[in-house]
Amino acid sequence: MEHDLLSSWVGVSALSIFIVAYLFVMVEEYTKFRKSKPVLLAAGLLWLFVAIGVQGTPAAAEVHEHFRHTFLEYAEILLFLMVAMSYINVLEERRVFAALRSYLVRSGWSYRKLFWLTGTLAFFISPVADNLTTALLMGAVVVAVGGAYSKFIALSCINVVVAANAGGAFSPFGDITTLMVWQKGVVKFSEFFALFVPSLVVWFVPALIMSRFVSTEPTTAGEGEAAVSMKLGAKRMMLLFLLTIVTAVLGHNFLHMPPVYGMLFGLGYMKVFGYYLKIRSTEDGPFDVMHHVQRIEWDTLLFFYGIIMCVGALGYIGYLAELSQFAYGELDHTVANVGVGILSAIIDNIPIMFAVLSMNPEMSHGQWLLVTLTAGVGGSLLSIGSAAGVALMGAAHGHYTFFSHLRWTPVIALGYGLGIWVHLVLNAHLF
């Protein structure tokens, strides 16, 4: 049935609509057109055409089940991210990130030391928080410290983007692509750590080269800035976030429950402790957990819905089977997976990784880890290749731009290539 649709008006129309919708997403920064709108409309039209195309055939019931299966995959991602984003919002409201930023700005350390420190923190924070939040936090420090030192801001933003993306590649909590791989059951939680050293190389090599062009003079931007204190319950809320992650991991590894089970369990931790804060806090206005749930990036989550459902429809039509035959049938798996990373610098890595998972090609475990690595870090090659890069172009407007990042793309590509080589050598037993 898929090949019948592939060569029919349904297949041609569906692919055309998806391409047009994604073009709108890619120019979102310039049109101010929220990225969820075109893909939501495209998802509805694609499934409408598919449903019309199979009416009166035995495949009608099959389409229904395929839609439900794809939607369930999205629902698990949605609820997982909803809890994670809510915790990040609460930690921000409890002034955890503001306190860290204040400490770094007031430190008086040299520009080069702060270059390394912000990169290191981005690499190790992004596996727990997401790479976008991490990049914005470290970017705020870089802009505050840099002042008029534009070169420091540009190099440090590049460093933060590469570090945040690399750090997110060896943890299911660091990036949407790694989360999808974990939730699909392709890679176990503990197995992601095989990517730690390759991810470290991807970040460290470009950082080492770029750091030579950063001044060793001490910073002065933090002189006179007041210290920021965390609010009541901030440290305990951090512990509850960690406990939520542990619950999700243990529940998945030992009870074989989906990761979203542990995350929603963790939302219960937050709500119970939130009630304690509500009755104990003397601050203006009562603490309300649901307020922070409402503040999550709903446009981003709806964008994920549109993308996942669009890719699911294209998969049913047969496009993914054709693509899989070319990429994983005619090309070497390593070449194909390296290409996935390069492509993710131009096209968002979420639809690319979901497409790979939907294809489900027969690959060794080492190859699945390789595509997880490349999809996670490949977006660092261009400033527009990841959410972290796009966000920092806005936060450091005029200092960190597409072309300032592009000048260092060869250096980033060196780290990308060496990271892949290290994975092929270090984890050769997995291939």
Cα–Cα distances (Å) from 236 to 242, 243, 264, in that order, read: 10, 10, 18
Q: At what angle do helices 150-168 and 111-125 cross, to 10 degrees?
A: 20
Q: In this model, does residue 411 exceed pLDDT 50? A: yes
Instruction: Please provide the distance, in angstroms rounded to a whole number, between the alpha carbons at the two ends of the chain.
Output: 34
**In a 3-state reduction of DSSP, which class is residue 33?**
coil
Non-local (6+) Cβ contacts of 310 within 8 A are 18, 21, 39, 42, 43, 46, 351
CA gap 250, 254 in Å, rounded: 6
| CA-atom Rg of the chain in angstroms | 22
Q: Write down the pLDDT at residue 98.
A: 87
Q: Which two tokens stand for residue 56?
A: 């009166």
Q: Percentage of the chain surpassing pLDDT 70? A: 94
Comparison of pLDDT for 226 and 89, the residue scoring more: 89
Of 199, 226, 189, 165, which is closest to residue 370 (Cα–Cα)?
Answer: 199
- Asked if pLDDT for residue 25 goes beyond 50, the answer is yes
3-state secondary structure 272-296: HHHHHHHHHCCCCCCCCHHHHHHCC
Is pLDDT above 70 for 31?
Answer: no
**Predicted TM-score of the model (pTM):** 0.85
pLDDT in tens, 53-79: 888 888 888 888 999 999 998 999 899
Q: CA-to-CA distance for 137 and 3, rounded, in angstroms?
A: 48
The DSSP code for 346 is: T
- What pLDDT sits at residue 358? 86
Domain parsing of the chain, residue ranges: 70-430
Q: What is the mean pLDDT of residues 264-293?
A: 86
CA–CA–CA angle 383, 389, 390 (5° rounding): 95
pLDDT at 26: 66
- Give the three-class secondary structure for 81: helix
Model confidence band, residue 33 (pLDDT cutoffs 50, 70, 90): low
Half-sphere exposure of 320 (CA within 13 A, CB side): 20
Query: Under a CB-based contact definition with an 8 Å cutoff, are residues 266 and 243 in contact?
Result: yes
The answer to whether the CB of 357 falls within 8 A of the CB of 184 is yes
pLDDT band at 1 (very low <50, low <70, confident <90, very high): very low
- Please state, in angstroms and as integers, the Cα–Cα distance from residue 368 to each residue in 270, 360, 365, 374, 376, following that order: 34, 10, 5, 10, 12
| Helix/strand/coil for 24 | helix
**Exposure letters 107-133 (e unless 16+ CB within 10 A, then b):** bebebbbbbbbbbbbbbebbbbbbbbb
Residue 155 is predicted with a pLDDT of 95
* Encoded tokens for 5: 């649709």
Asked whether the predicted pLDDT for residue 30 surpasses 60, the reply is no
Query: pLDDT tens across 2-12, in order?
Result: 446 766 778 88
Residue the block writes with tokens 């060569």: 7
Q: Phi and psi at residue 257, in whole multiples of 5°?
A: -90, 150
Mean pLDDT, range 182-208, rounded to an integer: 93
Least confident of 23-32, 278-287, 413-422: 23-32
